[in-house]
Structure 1
Amino acid sequence: MSRRWLRVVRTPLGLTTGLLVTAVLVLAIVAPMLWSDRAEVIDTDHILTGPSGDHWAGTDSLGRDIFFRALVATRLSMELALAATVIGVVVGLVLGSAPLLLGRRLGRLVTAGVNIAVAFPGLLLALFFAVIFGVGATGAVLAIGMASAPSFARLVHTLVAGVAALDYVSAARVAGVGRVRVLLRHVLPNIAEPLVVNATISAGGSLLAFAGLSFLGLGVQAPSYDWGRLLFEGIGMIYVNPAAALAPGLAVLVAGLAFNLFGESVAKGLGVSTVGGRLTVTDEDAASAPALSAGGTDEHALDGSPSDLVLDVQDLRVSFPGPAGPIRPVRGVSFSVRHGEALGVVGESGSGKSLTALAVAQLIEEPGRVDAARLQFRGADLREGPRAHRHLLGTSMAMVFQDPMTSFNPTRRMGGQLAEVAVHHQGMSRKQAMARAVDRLRAVRVPDPEKRATQYPHEFSGGMRQRAMIGMGVMGNPSLIIADEPTTALDVTVQQQVLDLLQAIRDEDDVALVLISHDVTVVGEVCDRVLVMYAGRIVEDLPADQLDGGAQHPYTRALVAAVPDMHTDLEQPLAVVPGRPVSPTDVIVGCPFAPRCPLADDHCRTVDPPLAPVEHGIKVACWHAGEPLGLDEETGELVEADAV
């Protein structure tokens, strides 16, 4: 980050405007100390004189030197402009963060008010607030600050919304971190640069706006004076001495340009663009933070769990409002996970795998809705909401997200991110928590953990980041690890290491595992049982050793057939699943796989089959479960056996 800021001042414009801004700020400090006496001296023998060697910009109606008054006015002008900028930034931060802090419903009301305010010109808003707060410097500061807040709030809202949707925020929420802490520790540090750029540009705008209010007689009042007040007085004698208006006007112009152009230089150096004088983000580098979570003591006795069930889900449904009615990407999912059991969830993209996991982890917010006949984790009813079981979720459930690059907060060191869980939930001191973080990094086979704990996420390889995410999950003693595509974007060797690590954690601590993946082979090797999802529901539940050769549903057999192995005939086309997946917005009648199924008939297209047991511990939702299929040698698609 320091290199990027250094790059700002290395450009000609950045260096020039940076020096100019520095000169203005230094002048604001030293000018009153050096020239206040000369600016206040009344000389009745030289009233309203023009520029001369003694008075470079002439004198005013009391014979006071206008040039020195303009220099001295720098302090008050800058103080008031910066004060108004601070007010605008603070109010904008609060308003822009409202959806995250207050929740979606109240946040919408605040956002609607901000959008209405942004529609009005800034000067009009400033005049409106000036009438409310009254004439004078204090009223003008409040008026300009409040007038600049809506545009800043719009920017903050956009940036916060982008970062709040990332994995690390979800991970922090699963850990039970409060909204204010999430905002201060995880969101704002990742959007600080564009906010600083906007604040710098806003300072120049506030300076010009304040001069305008003082010029109109609504700002600084006599005997105090700023550049706007001097400009107001200078206009009155412009035909006698034009320099009286030129000196303060030139000061406003130079200072305003300095701040605005410096802000533009900072924007270019930090990868942010300004369009039409407003800030827009060109690269939402938002990043993230860890997957969680932690835990200390075993809470089985507190939960009162009557069996070895860790997770019990019955008739889980997830819906979102849509233009034509509710969209239901998860429709009636039921399953359970026991201690030490590994449950795999497979299916194509859009089948509802990840949404099911997020619903279990209480990470679906409004307008999304989660309903279930039963949703119990270690005996606790999660339907009561995340706040009711924040400590339980934060200490006993770990979630490993699929993208290791965006699963850690890039502004914080790795050790600190792991240690936060122990400090927040286990009551450890920072020293103890850091020692625990180093120990967990060592446990997940991160080399040289003492050194790695002091590094940032970008200094880790993809495999080490994924291992560190798992280390976050075992900071305590979780009962359940939900791994959502944990081997995505990793090469085969590193992928196997991550899977071996998950297996070792299961064997050592009897931890239950829910592994979500597109890779049927991976799930078959790691898991005890497999759920196959399609169109938001489970279409087959079978032992993992039955995947290859024992699957009953045509969709499951198509997924298995699509995975090449050492015996695949390279002269023939690779097997594929015909057709396209069902969209969550579609109204499904009958079996959702029927349009793609070679065995489908009219009964399949009109009646949705229930998930029912068949044989060998297998449950299938299919009217033609187990019927023979063949492979079309030309297309690679599964077809009826008789058609081959």
Structure 2
Amino acid sequence: MPSPGKSKWAGVLRTPVGVSAATLLAAVLLLAVVAPLLWSDEAAAVDTGQILRGPSAEHWMGTDGLGRDVFHRVLVATGLSVGLALLATAIGVLTGLLLGAAPILLGARAGRVVSAMVNIAVAFPGLLLALFFAVVFGVGASGAVLAIGFALAPAFARLTQTLVAKVSGLDYVAAARIAGLGRVRLLARHVLPNVAEPLVVNATVAAGSALLAFAGLSFLGLGVQAPAYDWGRLLADGLAGLYIHPAAALAPGTAVVVAGLAFNLFGEAIAKGVGLRSAPVVFRRRDRDEPVAPAPAGEDRRSVLAVENLRVTFPGGTAPVRGVSFALRRGESVGIVGESGSGKTLTALAVAQLIEEPGEVTADRLEFRGQPLHELPDRTRQQLLGTSFAMVFQDPMTSFNPTQRIGRQLAEVSEQHHGLGRRQALDRAIDRLQAVRVPAAARRAKQFPHEFSGGMRQRAMIGMGMMGSPALIVADEPTTALDVTVQRQVLRLLQSVRAADDVAILLISHDITVVRRFCERVLVMYAGRIVEDLPAADLPARARHPYTRALLAAVPDMSTELERPLAVIPGRPVDPARVPVGCAFAARCPFADEQCRGADPPLVADREGRRVACWHADVTGGRPMMAEEVRVGE
């Protein structure tokens, strides 16, 4: 089945504008190749008896000051004019790509410096930049090529920055980072292919602009120098006798316009025909001969993740995650619940080492499989996370690279970390798809993500996590975009994965009912802190924090009175940039007093190991919050 990308490109040639532009451009490129081979002698032949003659049957566009045939000279000049313009375009596109992708290649800090320089350069007109660089690089064809190339680069870099920034935030790029791909490979395999179409369109249009700019520099005497000649040079020579012999200037001028239109119209045809994309159960046990990541030296074999006093901060003092501490053991399922903005996903991203500058992650302890993640060398950390850490993202559509087949994306993990060959890695990918019950796995592995349903993509995402030997699966809202039936299938699949290989699971959700049924333990987060940590079985009757009880009361069940409005938690969640003094939930809590508004309660454990951060945790004796204590909807 042809990919949608190929069908779109083929669609360009099905439109009248596309056919015309492609034919015209092909003719220009063909002429650029064959004209210097066929007519160079005729163009160079000097005939002093035919100086400055007008158009005739022998000389269609007349002759120049040395009696040379203008028409043949224009044809031969096509090769140099088009060749130099394409070379300048290539320099501009390559330079723009490197500058635009600087945040990925160099890191966020250096990338911001490069981006600032690009923004300054974009503020100057392209012609002014070309003239400036022409003076810097000197008069001549080489200097003009560099001048035009570097003049094109800022605008192309700005476009690349915008496209790359959007794609870099998608889930499949984060998955590739977790898999341990280097910056160059990440850019080449997962970012640039998804922004290629708009870049190709703009590069085609830029070639037409470069052609015009090059002719302009040669016309001004800054480009091609005698005895070589291009269209701009011929135009300058013909302009001297414009009133007595206009054809000598008209011919090269027409050639510049026609060739420029060919490039620009073809670029516009691509834009219209293609469209600019922004770049957007029972689980089988592990076979004995499958690669297993060795446990790091000194690892507690029951310990998977240990987090103490984890903080995520951004410039300006914003701290969306404030002092989070928890631990996971092998085979344990733990849920994190809370409203949007409570810090659930940022906590998971910090553990996965996916928080980039200007964000800063600090922790007194952040250990995965007994290894301190913040102290490991980059390569060792990537190897550890790539083989033992899996992440299932919220939106199954953005979890995979839309330009690559599913099987290749899964196989990339084994190629990167297990040293398997391309065929072996693909065979393992098919095996993993079979393990997560994707039907016809061998055929499905050859398909693109858009050919999978939402539930099937989530299964494949879990299969990608099982390409290594995961000790921990972080599932970030894995069922939000799925219907109820598929939600249950995905959750059962995660349960079977956990039971089969003793894998720890950290489930992030805003749905406290799902977490209560799926997990053994629940962490309730509010305003970047864990406010309660208790067994899931204790949620209905023994939840102690007012926020936890309010979440439970706001969930309707079969006993909810249909005549009454649904209960909601009063007020709004706290803005991470303006966390109030004292308990962050005080403004929404019916039990808050002056102590709550003056001091933030610590997270303390009781005799049974349940933790709660509330000055009045036992004010209601651990009973669920009654509907009367929660504001009802209008």
Q: Is the TM-score greater than 0.5?
A: yes
Q: Quick check: 2:336–2:522 contact (8 Å CA) kept in 1? A: yes
* Aligned counterpart, 1:509: 501
The one-letter amino acid paired with 2:292 is: T
Alpha-carbon distance in 2 for matches of 1:562, 1:227: 75
Match of 1:172 among 176, 187, 190: 176
Q: Within the alignment, does 1:332 sit opposite 2:323 as a pair? A: yes
The one-letter amino acid paired with 2:368 is: F
Match of 1:563 among 549, 555, 578: 555
Q: Within the alignment, does 1:321 sit opposite 2:322 as a pair? A: no
Q: Within the alignment, does 1:139 sit opposite 2:139 as a pair? A: no
Q: Quick check: 2:96–2:155 contact (8 Å CA) kept in 1? A: yes
Higher mean Cα deviation, 450-459 or 602-611? 602-611
Match of 2:90 among 86, 90, 113: 86
* Aligned counterpart, 2:393: 401
Q: Quick check: 1:543–1:617 contact (8 Å CA) kept in 2? A: no
Alpha-carbon distance in 1 for matches of 2:543, 2:205: 63
Alpha-carbon distance, 1:266 to partner: 1.4
Alpha-carbon distance in 1 for matches of 2:279, 2:99: 22
Match of 1:463 among 455, 460, 470: 455
Q: Quick check: 1:48–1:63 contact (8 Å CA) kept in 2? A: yes
Q: Quick check: 1:303–1:378 contact (8 Å CA) kept in 2? A: no
SS of corresponding position for 2:324: strand
Q: Quick check: 1:573–1:635 contact (8 Å CA) kept in 2? A: no
Alpha-carbon distance in 1 for matches of 2:329, 2:24: 67
Match of 2:335 among 305, 325, 344: 344
Gaps of 5+ in 1: 273-282, 287-294, 638-644
Alpha-carbon distance, 1:16 to partner: 1.8
Relative to structure 1, the CA distance from residue 93 to residue 635 in structure 2 (aligned partners, 3 Å threshold; closer, same or farther) is closer
Q: Quick check: 2:525–2:532 contact (8 Å CA) kept in 1? A: yes
5 Å-filtered alignment, 1:185-584, equals 185-272=189-276, 283-286=277-280, 296-300=291-295, 302-306=296-300, 308-322=302-316, 326-384=317-375, 387=378, 388-584=380-576
* Aligned counterpart, 1:149: 153
After superposition, what is the alpha-carbon deviation per residue over 1:205-241, rounded to whole angstroms, capped at 9, x for unaligned? 1100110111111111112111011001101111220
Higher mean Cα deviation, 374-383 or 569-578? 569-578
Alpha-carbon distance in 2 for matches of 1:172, 1:635: 44
Alpha-carbon distance, 1:476 to partner: 1.9
Match of 2:81 among 66, 77, 80: 77
Q: Quick check: 1:341–1:511 contact (8 Å CA) kept in 2? A: yes
Alpha-carbon distance in 2 for matches of 1:296, 1:108: 41
Relative to structure 1, the CA distance from residue 27 to residue 185 in structure 2 (aligned partners, 3 Å threshold; closer, same or farther) is same
Q: Quick check: 2:401–2:449 contact (8 Å CA) kept in 1? A: yes
Q: Quick check: 1:28–1:72 contact (8 Å CA) kept in 2? A: yes
Q: Quick check: 1:572–1:634 contact (8 Å CA) kept in 2? A: no
The one-letter amino acid paired with 1:419 is: A
* Aligned counterpart, 2:286: none
Higher mean Cα deviation, 489-498 or 620-629? 620-629
Q: Quick check: 2:205–2:264 contact (8 Å CA) kept in 1? A: yes
Q: Quick check: 2:194–2:278 contact (8 Å CA) kept in 1? A: no
The one-letter amino acid paired with 2:474 is: I
Q: Quick check: 2:544–2:612 contact (8 Å CA) kept in 1? A: yes
SS of corresponding position for 2:576: coil
Higher mean Cα deviation, 524-533 or 35-44? 35-44
Alpha-carbon distance in 2 for matches of 1:299, 1:407: 28
Q: Quick check: 2:164–2:279 contact (8 Å CA) kept in 1? A: no
Q: Quick check: 1:573–1:633 contact (8 Å CA) kept in 2? A: no
Q: Within the alignment, does 1:107 sit opposite 2:111 as a pair? A: yes
Q: Within the alignment, does 1:51 sit opposite 2:55 as a pair? A: yes
The one-letter amino acid paired with 1:579 is: G
Alpha-carbon distance in 1 for matches of 2:319, 2:84: 54
SS of corresponding position for 1:574: coil
Alpha-carbon distance in 2 for matches of 1:54, 1:40: 15
TM-score when scaled to structure 1?
Answer: 0.93
After superposition, what is the alpha-carbon deviation per residue over 1:14-56, rounded to whole angstroms, capped at 9, x for unaligned? 2222211111111112222332232222222211111122212
Match of 1:632 among 612, 617, 628: 628
Higher mean Cα deviation, 332-341 or 623-632? 623-632
The one-letter amino acid paired with 2:370 is: G
Q: Quick check: 2:345–2:476 contact (8 Å CA) kept in 1? A: yes
Alpha-carbon distance in 1 for matches of 2:390, 2:630: 46
Relative to structure 1, the CA distance from residue 356 to residue 633 in structure 2 (aligned partners, 3 Å threshold; closer, same or farther) is closer
Q: Quick check: 1:39–1:69 contact (8 Å CA) kept in 2? A: yes
After superposition, what is the alpha-carbon deviation per residue over 1:466-500, rounded to whole angstroms, capped at 9, x for unaligned? 00000000112111111111111111111111111
The one-letter amino acid paired with 1:77 is: S
Higher mean Cα deviation, 440-449 or 146-155? 146-155
Match of 2:68 among 52, 64, 69: 64
Alpha-carbon distance, 1:635 to partner: 4.8
The one-letter amino acid paired with 1:235 is: L
Q: Within the alignment, does 1:596 sit opposite 2:588 as a pair? A: yes
Higher mean Cα deviation, 369-378 or 127-136? 127-136
Alpha-carbon distance in 1 for matches of 2:246, 2:552: 86
After superposition, what is the alpha-carbon deviation per residue over 1:289-333, rounded to whole angstroms, capped at 9, x for unaligned? xxxxxx943432x331246211110111110013xxx10000111
Q: Quick check: 2:134–2:222 contact (8 Å CA) kept in 1? A: yes
Alpha-carbon distance in 2 for matches of 1:194, 1:342: 44
SS of corresponding position for 1:10: coil
The one-letter amino acid paired with 1:15 is: V
After superposition, what is the alpha-carbon deviation per residue over 1:246-288, rounded to whole angstroms, capped at 9, x for unaligned? 100111011112211221221222323xxxxxxxxxx5253xx
Q: Quick check: 2:18–2:266 contact (8 Å CA) kept in 1? A: yes
Alpha-carbon distance in 2 for matches of 1:561, 1:350: 20
Alpha-carbon distance in 2 for matches of 1:116, 1:620: 52
* Aligned counterpart, 1:125: 129
Q: Quick check: 1:444–1:467 contact (8 Å CA) kept in 2? A: yes
Q: Quick check: 1:446–1:468 contact (8 Å CA) kept in 2? A: yes
Alpha-carbon distance, 1:634 to partner: 10
Alpha-carbon distance in 1 for matches of 2:398, 2:537: 34
Q: CA RMSD in A?
A: 1.6
Alpha-carbon distance in 2 for matches of 1:7, 1:379: 55
Alpha-carbon distance, 1:161 to partner: 1.1
The one-letter amino acid paired with 1:334 is: S
Alpha-carbon distance in 1 for matches of 2:300, 2:186: 35
Alpha-carbon distance in 2 for matches of 1:401, 1:172: 12
Alpha-carbon distance, 1:519 to partner: 1.1
Task: State percent identity of aligned pairs.
Answer: 67
Q: Quick check: 2:92–2:149 contact (8 Å CA) kept in 1? A: yes
Q: Quick check: 2:338–2:509 contact (8 Å CA) kept in 1? A: yes
After superposition, what is the alpha-carbon deviation per residue over 1:424-451, rounded to whole angstroms, capped at 9, x for unaligned? 1001111111110000000001011010
The one-letter amino acid paired with 1:304 is: G
The one-letter amino acid paired with 2:338 is: G
Q: Quick check: 1:399–1:481 contact (8 Å CA) kept in 2? A: yes
Alpha-carbon distance, 1:5 to partner: 1.8
The one-letter amino acid paired with 1:446 is: V
* Aligned counterpart, 1:289: none
SS of corresponding position for 2:464: helix
Alpha-carbon distance, 1:632 to partner: 2.6
Q: Quick check: 1:362–1:386 contact (8 Å CA) kept in 2? A: no
Alpha-carbon distance in 2 for matches of 1:386, 1:485: 30
Alpha-carbon distance in 1 for matches of 2:226, 2:219: 12
The one-letter amino acid paired with 1:89 is: V
SS of corresponding position for 2:385: helix
Alpha-carbon distance in 1 for matches of 2:64, 2:631: 92
Alpha-carbon distance, 1:385 to partner: 5.9
Q: Quick check: 1:572–1:633 contact (8 Å CA) kept in 2? A: no
